[in-house]
Amino acid sequence: MERRSVVIVGAGPGGLTAAMILAQKGFDVTVFEKNAKPGGRNGCLEIDGYKFDIGPTFLMMKFVLDDLFKQVGRNVDDYLPSTRLAPMYRLMFDDISLDVYDHLHHDKMKEQMTRLFPTDAPGLDRFMKREQGRFDKILSCLTTPYDTVASMMGWKILKAMPFMSLGKSLFQVLGEYFPSQSARVAFTFQSKYLGMAPWRCPGFYAMIPFVEHRYGIFHTRGGLSEISEAMAKVAGELGASFRYGTPVERLLLDGRKVTGVRLADGTEVKADVVVVNADFAYAATKLVPPGALRRWSAKALGKKRFSLSTFMLYLGVKKTYDLPHHTIVFAKDYIKNINDIEAGIWPEGNASFYVRNASINDPTLAPSGCSALYVLMPAPNKRAALDWPAMQARLRRYCLDQMKSRLGMSDIEENIVVERCFTPDTWQDDFNVYIGATFNLGHNLGQMLYWRPHNDFEELENMYLVGGGTHPGSGLPTIYESGRISAGMICERYGIEGIPPAPKDAG
Ligand SMILES: Cc1cc2nc3c(=O)[nH]c(=O)nc-3n(C[C@H](O)[C@H](O)[C@H](O)COP(=O)(O)OP(=O)(O)OC[C@H]3O[C@@H](n4cnc5c(N)ncnc54)[C@H](O)[C@@H]3O)c2cc1C
């Protein structure tokens, strides 16, 4: 067989998945990555012996990653030692706090639910049972491409339709199990992983809290950025070549056909197929020549919904804290907090935040006796006219004050030895994320499945999309799926069998 060439723009989780599969299937794969190392938002910051994951800290549905490695002839555990977290996380409301355990520790979870939310506690078993049914039907919809109207009429979708809770929000769907507000928030805040409010997030995303409770949350030793490192290593072993520090400036077009890429240094690289992993809306507005797109033109994108953004602090501190691996602290008025952010207003004095203290389980992230802390506050994306450079110091102050008052970290400030801060500007300017919307194009129904940018990009030939901006959407397991789906379509085009979707874990 003639060896077909594939150029991949970006070595984030989506591009790395495609690189692993296509290299293993015999394609001549070259990955151009603007940064000096792989990972993108799933990369890391290393500063003076402290190591911080930049973005993802929750690895869910690990069986998808395990299977990807298996399909290319590798055992994930040889590359990525990992731990299933118990508890998964601590949730702190104004008056109560709850350590959330997955189903392997059902008794602990049930005991806390009974104590803290007596009227909601019986809902836990119903939630696990009924949501398993929904997950079984919906998962298969997320592992298939939707590139034609006919594909939306397929049996998988039709069978899943009754389980989609169309017209209902996640908040409404889970309210059927958990009527009291705090319990409901405890099982719906996960819509924030998509950068959406639970009351605007489609009900079928009830699968996200379900997969946490059913399949657990994992930490990989050295942080989740190690996943990207391992994926790049495997892709390299399989023959893919990586050109780091090499930004792509433009896609080359011959009519409607993408023929390759032009690098920032002016070099033109031709390829049979181009896979774009850079954030879709960024690529559509910056890498595709102006005027080439209609459905996804800059004007059309200007009318689409995008996710929230985040304000981040990465703090290296010279002590350890008795704080769980993941702690989520809800604002006093959580509903107003999220509504404000979605309306583009900074929720002054009423912000939720998340602290990740992975050093409690992983000594490799900081010098002995020290900790690498990661703090995230949901924030409006850059459609809001907020002056982030002017706000940065104030938001940092707020975070530190909240860590003191709500988490008892009274001496945090005097122990900080290294520090970095990201705002929505950073995501946009340094990570090439359109309007700093960290979780990509919104996940409302009108922008899902057939209505999301297609894996085999509908507006240009020879261009495939991977990553959070295409189908099935944002989040590591779904991004791996986007890579598997697009690589599968490329394989099929050349008469090669792709890899099947991961079988569900029994764990
Ligand atoms: C703060 C934060 C927290 C998150 N937490 C979680 C979590 O806990 N769990 C979870 O599952 N998901 C999480 N996510 C969501 C998602 O999993 C990650 O954002 C993921 O890294 C997105 O992968 P991607 O492949 O779509 O894009 P990216 O990771 O952005 O990769 C795109 C790559 O393209 C490169 N690139 C861009 N432009 C060019 C160019 N012109 N030329 C060459 N290369 C280019 C970039 O440098 C990057 O390496 C989080 C995201 C963020 C931002």
358-380 b/e with 16+ CB inside 10 Å = b? bbeebeebbeeebbbbbbbbbbb
The pLDDT of residue 1 is: 59
The answer to whether position 100 is within a domain reads no
Same-domain status, 277 and 206? no
Is the domain of 125 the same as that of 195? yes
Expressed in angstroms and rounded, the spacing between residue 449 Cα and the centre of ligand 1 is 20
> End of a domain among 169, 185, 211?
211
State how many domains the chain has: 3
Q: Report the CATH number that the domain containing residue 264 is assigned in CATH.
A: 3.50.50.60
Final residue in a domain of this structure, among 165, 181, 211? 211
Domain residues for the domain of 381 are 308-434
- Mutating to test ligand 1, I would choose from 7, 17, 31, 41 the residue with most ligand atoms within 8 A of its C-beta, which is 41
Q: What is the pLDDT confidence band of residue 159, given thresholds at 50, 70 and 90?
A: confident
Higher per-residue pLDDT: 507 or 410? 410
pLDDT greater than 80 at residue 292: yes
pLDDT of 417-436, one tens digit each?
999 999 999 999 999 999 99
If asked whether residues 361 and 429 sit together in one domain, one would say: yes
Q: Cα of 121 to ligand 1 centre, how many Å?
A: 37
Is 88 contained in some domain? no
CA of 229 to the centre of ligand 1 (A): 14
Calculate how far, in angstroms, residue 467's C-alpha sits from the geometric centre of ligand 1. Answer: 7
User: How many angstroms separate the alpha carbon of residue 411 from the centre of ligand 1?
Assistant: 33
Atom 48 in ligand 1: residue holding the nearest Cα: 40
- How far does the centroid of ligand 1 lie from the alpha carbon of residue 392, in Å? 23
pLDDT band with cut points at 50, 70 and 90 for residue 453: very high
Mean pLDDT of the region 147-157: 81
Closest ligand 1 atom to residue 11 Cα is 49
Q: Are 127 and 169 contained in the same domain?
A: yes
Tell me the pTM: 0.97
Cis peptide before 87 (omega within 30 of 0): yes
- 92 domain residue, yes or no: no
Residue 86 lies in a domain: no
pLDDT confidence tier of residue 504, bands split at 50, 70 and 90: confident
Can you list the alpha helix ranges (DSSP code H) found in 355-475?
388-407, 412-415, 424-431
Protein residue with least CA distance to atom 2, ligand 1: 55
145 and 191: one domain? yes
Residues 150 and 171 reside in one and the same domain? yes
pLDDT at 464: 98
Among positive and negative, which fits the CA dihedral 171, 172, 175, 180?
positive
Question: At what angle are helices 13-24 and 62-71 packed, to 10 degrees?
Answer: 30
Separation between Cα atoms, residue 186 and residue 182, nearest integer Å:
6
Max distance between CA atoms of the chain, in angstroms, equals 66
In DSSP notation, 27-81 reads: -EEEEE-SSSSS-GGG-EEEETTEEEESS---EE-HHHHHHHHHHTT--HHHH--
State residue 166's pLDDT score. 86
Assigned domain for 97 exists: no
Enumerate residues lining ligand 1, CB below 6 A.
9-14, 32-35, 40-42, 55-58, 247-248, 277-279, 310, 376, 431-432, 438-439, 467-468, 474-476, 479
Residue closest to 286 by CA, chosen among 261, 317, 311: 261
Per-residue pLDDT, 506: 59
What's the pLDDT score for residue 164? 82
User: How many C-beta atoms surround the C-beta of residue 304 within 10 A?
Assistant: 15
Same domain, 340 and 414: yes
In a domain, 182, yes or no: yes
Cα gap 376→346, rounded to integer Å: 14
What is the CB neighbour count within 10 angstroms for residue 159?
Answer: 13
Query: Torsion angle, CA of 204/205/208/211, rounded to 10 degrees?
Result: 10
Do 175 and 71 sit in the same domain of this protein?
no
Looking at the fold, whether 243 and 206 belong to one and the same domain comes out as no
Q: Which of 327, 476, 486 to mutate to test the pocket of ligand 1 (most atoms within 8 A of CB)?
A: 476
* Structural domain contains residue 504: no
Q: Choose which residue among 42, 265, 433 to substitute to test ligand 1 binding: the one with the highest number of ligand atoms within 8 A of its C-beta.
A: 42
Could you tell me if 299 and 446 lie in one domain? yes
Region 74-97 average pLDDT: 97
pLDDT digits (tens, 9 = 90+) for 340-352: 999 999 999 999 9
Residue 376 has pLDDT above 80, yes or no: yes
Contact 274, 464 (CB under 8 A): yes
Q: Could you tell me if 322 and 415 lie in one domain?
A: yes
Domain boundary among 211, 237, 266: 211
The minimum-distance atom of ligand 1 relative to the CA of 433 is 30
Nearest atom in ligand 1 to 248's CA: 42
In a domain, 402, yes or no: yes
- Give the span between the Cα atoms of 379 and 353, in whole angstroms: 10
Q: Could you tell me the strand order of the sheet in which 217-220 lies?
A: 59-60, 217-220, 82-84
> Can you tell me the mean pLDDT for 168-176?
95
Contact between 309 and 424 (Cβ < 8 Å): yes
Whether residue 176 sits in one domain with residue 70? no
For residues 222 and 25, give the distance between their C-alpha atoms in angstroms, rounded to a whole number. Answer: 30
388-407 helix and 424-431 helix, angle to the nearest 10 degrees:
120
Q: How far is the CA of 41 from the centre of ligand 1 (A)?
A: 3
